[in-house]
Amino acid sequence: MRKILLVDDEPWLTDGLVAALESRGFQCLKAMDMTEGVKALMEHTISAVVTDIMMPPGTAFRKTESSESGFHLIEYIQKNWPRLPIVCLSVIADQAKIRFLKKRGVRYLRKGETPLSTAVEVIVAVAEGRIVRLPS
């Protein structure tokens, strides 16, 4: 079964997303901070990562600023698992930051504005390799 890793410090906010992905044959793993996310990546074979931006860094990345830890996680993943597709699910409005994500081949879905059906479609396509990472 394909696994999708969701990294969000408020996991109950993605209950609907998890239910929709699981009903489409994916197993969802939840991590509540950057440290838990990296640990899950080391222990499982993951098809796609869905991450928030503002979240606690956790014990292994204490010096990371919590308002930016999602960006650090993305950089860390792309350095260590360069082929792993990443979707950013957050509420960032800063265009420079959104451009940064695009440049790194990360799909950005805005929480609260993206319908669940669209989010599921994008995440499933990314996890199945139908949407590939854009070259940085």
Which residues here bind another protein, judged by CB under 8 A? 9-17, 19-20, 22-24, 32, 54-57, 66-67, 91, 111-112, 115-117, 119
DSSP bridge partners of 88: 51, 108
Nearer to another protein, 25 or 135 (CB): 25
- d(CA 114, CA 117) in angstroms, rounded, equals 8
- Continuous H helices in 44-115: 69-80, 95-103
Nearer to another protein, 43 or 94 (CB): 94
The C-alpha angle with vertex 78 and arms to 72 and 84, in degrees rounded to 5, equals 125
Q: How far is the CB of 72 from another protein (least distance, A)?
A: 13
Q: How far is the CB of 23 from another protein (least distance, A)?
A: 4
DSSP letter at 132 equals P
Q: How far is the CB of 102 from another protein (least distance, A)?
A: 22
